[in-house]
Structures are given as C-alpha cells and as structure tokens.
Amino acid sequence: NAGVTQTPKFRVLKTGQSMTLLCAQDMNHEYMYWYRQDPGMGLRLIHYSVGEGTTAKGEVPDGYNVSRLKKQNFLLGLESAAPSQTSVYFCASSYYPNQPQHFGDGTRLSIL
Amino acid sequence: SQQGEEDPQALSIQEGENATMNCSYKTSINNLQWYRQNSGRGLVHLILIRSNEREKHSGRLRVTLDTSKKSSSLLITASRAADTASYFCASNTGNQFYFGTGTSLTVIP
C-alpha cells in the first residue's frame, strides 16, 4: 500500500517552460488536493477535486491548471513557469473533506 | 488570506519537557486538525478536533479548541528527540483546508 505518490521528486525548469506534476493515490479517496509550501507561509491550497472529472480553485490557483481524469490520479500543470512558482508542491487525498488528509512526500520545483 | 498563524515560530526544549504550540484561525470551522512534518517529508495527520469539542487526547497529545477565540493549542507531553519536527494546524471549512504557518520544534536529547 503506497498511499500517495508524487512524481517527479525534483525538477528544475527554465522560465516559460511547461510541466506536469503527477499525484497518484491507491486508497480509493474521493478528494484530492494540491498545495504549495513556501518558507514561512505554511501550505496554501492551489486546486482541489471532489471526485473523478471535477476540479475547483483553491486559495492560489493562478498560473496552474489541474485535471482528474481518473479517480486515483490528480495532475497539476504549469503552462508557462515563472520564478514565483519555485516551491515545494504537495498532493494530498482524503475520503471526505472533513477527514484527515494523507500527503505525498512532495515535489521540489525550481524555476530559473 | 485565510491562512492561520501559529506561535511560537520555533521552540527548543529538553527531552522529557512538555511542548505547547498555539494556532489561530480566521473562519468558522467544521474541525481543526494538527499535522506533523519531518524535514524533507510530507505532512502526517496527528489529531482532529471537531468544532463542538473543547478538548481531545491521543497518547501524549492533548488538543484544545476555543471557537469563540478562533484558537487551538497542541500539547506534547514528555517530549522525545523523535518529536523534533514542524507542526501545523489546519482549519477545515467545507471542502477546503487553511494551514497555519507552523511551529518548528526541536527536542534536545
């Protein structure tokens, strides 16, 4: 039972490049979340999904897009990376929105 | 921003002592959760307290919630070196969570 798996673990991009971060969970959770963690800021919600085929904006959605084509996968895309998007990105999932979240180990993304 | 705040930002104690960290949040909540993060890893859920509860215990953890003050506290008793980590509160409102800025706890052996 792997829980929540994020790929890749590390990535360096140049400004303007695009990329997709993948999150996979094997717990049959309905809810999935993407956060970013910056020093001194804690975690901030980017986008979330309440089930397969659904997505919604969180607190800091600008510059990101997401898709949930399969229940177990939640993809986060950066269309045109900017240095301000340098951060650690965490994916999480839960059965219901008021239940504990299970987190992956993060993707460390640097944009030069 | 709906992000909560925690204090202290950093806390250093001797092994065996108790550690208390506080969290303030901004909106009405369904529940408040506490998470732990070891360096370089994801967050791990510790304990959940519902909005109609005032206190909850789990092992060496004690959480209190004061919804009138929009605040919560986490007490770790008889701390161990392995408790060294960052601790975050997360207020749950509907489908979203708002995390605090975290407390970095160092337990000195």
Put simply, whether A42 touches B (Cβ < 8 Å) is: yes
* Cis status, amide bond into A83, omega within 30 of 0: no
Say how many CA atoms lie within 13 Å of A9 toward its Cβ: 6
Task: Choose among A43, A101, A105: nearest Cβ to B41.
Answer: A105
Distance (Å, whole) CA A49 – CA A23 = 12
**Which chain B residue has the Cα nearest residue A100?**
B45
Q: What is the pLDDT of residues B47-57, one digit of tens each?
A: 999 999 999 99
The pair of three-digit structure tokens given for residue B24, joined into one six-digit string: 């303030």
pLDDT by position in tens, chain A (length 112): 679 999 999 999 999 999 999 999 999 999 999 999 998 778 999 999 999 999 999 999 999 999 999 999 999 999 999 999 999 999 999 998 888 999 999 999 999 9
Residues contacting A19, CB < 8 A, separation 6+:
A11, A13, A77, A78, A81, A109
Does A97 sit within 8 Å of B96, measured CB to CB? yes
Q: Cβ contacts (< 8 Å) between A97 and chain B: which residues?
A: 92, 94-96
Does A90 sit within 8 Å of B42, measured CB to CB? yes
CA A45, chain centre distance (Å): 9
Shortest Cα–Cα distance, A91 to chain B (Å): 9
Fill in the amino acid letter for B70.
K
